Amino acid sequence: MVNLLSNLSEYQKLIFPIHPRTRKNLERCGLLALIRSNVILTDPVGYIDFITLIKNAILILTDSGGFQEE
């Protein structure tokens, strides 16, 4: 997943609202440092911000079952 994000970010800036547990696991495994600067890591976003991100997205990658509900 880190490689995919890094490769995609060569062509387009990415916004990655990252769950604190995911951030911690990436840090623990030394993977957070591999994410390129064109990937913007944010804290989880609220509903309105999430809908805005979806509306303006070119591509959405998720492992969240909640995304389909939105």
Q: Which residues are CB-neighbours of 26 under 8 A, at least 6 positions away?
A: 2, 18, 32, 35
What phi and psi values does residue 66 have, to the nearest 5 degrees?
A: -70, -25
The model's pTM is 0.76
Q: What is the pLDDT of residues 35-69, one digit of tens each?
A: 988 999 999 888 899 899 989 999 888 766 666 55
Closest CA to 16 of 40, 50, 38: 40
What percentage of the chain carries pLDDT values higher than 90? 39
Percentage of the residues of the chain whose pLDDT score is greater than 70: 89
